[in-house]
Structure 1
Amino acid sequence: MTTTGEDHAAARSGPWWWERRRGALLDVGLASLSAVECAFEGIRFATDAGIPAGVGVVFGALAGSALLVRRKWPIAVVLVAIAITPAQMGYLMGVVGLYTLAASELPRRIIASLAGMSLVGMLIVMFVRVRQDIARGTLDLGDWFVPFAAITTAVGVTAPPLLLGLYVGARRRLMESLRERADSLERELQLLAERAEERAEWARNEERTRIAREMHDVVAHRVSLMVVHAAALQAVARKDPEKAVKNAALVGDMGRQALTELREMLGVLRSGDGARRAERVVPLAAVGVAAAAAASRAVEEGDGPCLSELDELIGQSAAAGMVVDLSVEGDGRGYPAQVEQTAYRVVQEALTNVHKHAAGAKTHVRLAHRSAEIAMQVENEPPPEAASASSARLPSGGNGLLGMKERVVALGGVFVSGPTDAGGFRVSAVIPAAA
């Protein structure tokens, strides 16, 4: 499991400036060792300086305990170590202080300057100390050993902690950069997941709306004709039995056609069972988009209505007692399935609205085949005073015009509807031929 930057910041549990308790315990231990070391070395310093040994011990202990604040003020710790280097004490503090300074986020020029001062200070002290030891006879070596010992000791005490600190600091910055990248990647993945879910929900809503439009067109038109024929059947049942039988047959045909189209629609919906079973192993967002696309392709590639069936559609309305006048301009040609289905549904829904709201009104259906588009218009005259849509008791949900407009606009077309000056109603639509 990856530890992100937020988790790393939340893991701070140490007192004061320490991030963790173990870091505080480590610094306390190092400061104690440094204080003890400097205290022992303070005895010799007090002897050489001619001051009481207790003063040297206290001075050494206080100076060595400065290592406690190495994480908070590494520059101060290194300066203290450099300051007490002439007293030949604070070696542990110098080594740990240089390491902490090099591993910190301070500018490189400051680190290099303090490291150079520490190197020079150690070099001078060791040069003097080795020279004094040779002068006392403690070391029986040539003069060449003095610079060699001074340089070797100074570099050996300064270079390793400095290089190790630089390495640890670079590694620490790299880990911090990786944590930030992990945080950024996690946020991006979360945002992508949210967007994918939004797209899936949008696709599901679009598919539900499209299927609802299809079912509305199928049911509204067929059932409206069935209700009109049933009302006519009720009116002529006793006066004209033959016409009543004819109307009853038409009602039966309409019902069978409506059931057939509904079965086709339900078959498309049942095809989504495989997609629903796939949700167990595939993310919901991908399944939602795939299922919606599959259902859309299944309906669009199916045997839907086309413009060649307009004569049959108008004949059904004429059989229901509507006077319909069809006029076609231009030569018909093959259009994409979506274009033909949309044009057919617009005419179908417009005729359904005439049955509902203007029963008995004469209706004009105009179809124009143009070079780059196909236009259609359904206009009805005012209904006769004797006829009334209420006599058939046809309900209206107000979704017909909205559904037609959505269909046409989705293909890049233009849809206009509204009452005419003569008191009728007009529905007009223009659809690009290559939509």
Structure 2
Amino acid sequence: MSTGFDRETGDFARGARAVVVLPDLGGSPRDSDARLAETAGLAEAIGVDVCGRIAFRVRQARPATMLGSGQVEALAATIAEREAELAVFDAPLSAVQQRNLENALGCKVLDRTGLILEIFGERAATAEGRLQVELAHLDYQAGRLVRSWTHLERQRGGYGFLGGPGETQIEADRRLIRDRMARLRKELDQVSRTRTLHRDRRQRAPWPVIALVGYTNAGKSTLFNRLTGSDVMAENLLFATLDPTLRQVPMPGTDKAILSDTVGFVSDLPTQLVAAFKATLEEVVSADLLIHVRDIAHPDTEAQRDDVEAVLSEIGVAGADVTPRIEAWNKIDLLPAERQEEILALAQRRDDVVALSALGGEGVDTLIETVGATLTAAHRRYRIELPAGDGASAAWLHAHGEVLDQWLEGEKAVYDVRMAPRDHGRFTHRDA
């Protein structure tokens, strides 16, 4: 396996040595050490060897280099001392800042957006995921096409639709990127339509959909495996899950539910990714219930919660009044005994919170009971008339609602059933 940085292609391989850099502009609710640790974790997620972490207090971002001149010199010395081939900035950098920093530091520079895109590009497993990642990459690259590289400054004569006379390479590249992005969007629209058809089919099915959401590495996939008995990838790794996974799970009060494991969110999630992964996130938008899995043992757990809520709001799930949600305070097994007791006491005072350990199983039964109660909280009573011989529909009502009473009226069987309005709609349109 190759390691290090390829100076000819500008690419880095697994094992490249990197220094993580935090330009601290102030005003962030997050602890600097925690931010450095998260960015280091992101870098390590694609096999980079983090050999140093350094934070600089920046009063005002410099347009040319983000950091001050003295800070750039200090960083260059650290990179030389550690023999690093890559500097990973926990901040968005303009194309000019990135180029100037690479010249000053003598190494490859990657900003937070580029780093997350690298991870997504490596992890996408399905055709849809790869389309989404490529679209996000192209959107990011389009903003990097400035007159910074000599090969983009050449002019070429063109013919036909391949470029008119005097078209510069940068103009041609921009046009090619626009064309490719347009094709990708069409393909993703088709994916979205297919997903909508599948979702409509599920709407006619009797089971509600529950989506697991949360900050990356909060334990969603571990909880998913615990609830479903599945074996989806669940590692102590940022962005272990990119493509959504759906499984049926038994659920009190509704017989069954469909559980969806979704991509994890992260602070400063690139807008390119939110847009590109819209089709995937539609599973969240259309869910009957959200389980917000939080790493309650993380020092920035409250800030992570706010980041997740911000992304949910951005995709149209603004609050519990839009889609009911439960907070699963995960990883209580990592807390000191005194803090664990405090968290358990806080959770018990709230109807929408369950403290648990997805890894050890503590509290998972309570979560299942809470989910069942939440899904059935809005149930109403309905009078439903069926042909006396329609055993299949009668069985459906018994399986997915609570039959309070039933009797015959001539050739009709009448049922007094309590169920969710959405389930009643599914029952009504199940043969549509």
**Shorter-normalised TM range:** under 0.3
Q: Looking at CA atoms only, which structure, 1 or 2, has the larger radius of gyration?
A: 1
Which structure has the highest strand share of the two? 2
Q: Which has the higher contact order (CA 8 A, sep 6+)?
A: 2
